[in-house]
Amino acid sequence: MAYVISDECISCGACEAECPVGAISEGDGKFVIDADKCTECGSCADVCPVGAPEKK
């Protein structure tokens, strides 16, 4: 199961910069993860200051 970014996202962009496969992009009010590209590495969750990326 890919990671998803919850509504806790503060749109800081830290996760986008850390994603090794480019699966994260800025969405409407928060960042979003493309489930087809996500490799479940957890890099986004490791750098997020508010813990928005969650494994689903």
Look up the CATH number of domain 3-55.
Answer: 3.30.70.20
- Within 8 A by CB and 6+ apart from 39, the residues are 20, 21, 23
What residue type is assigned to position 4 of the chain? V
- Residue 15 sits at φ, ψ, to 5 deg, of -65, -40
- Residue 41 sits at φ, ψ, to 5 deg, of -75, -25
Whole-angstrom distance, CA of residue 33 vs CA of residue 21:
11
| Per-residue pLDDT tens over the stretch 3-55 | 999 999 999 999 999 999 999 999 999 999 999 999 999 999 999 999 999 99
pLDDT tier, 56 (very low <50, low <70, confident <90, very high otherwise): confident
- Within 8 A by CB and 6+ apart from 18, the residues are 43, 44, 46, 47
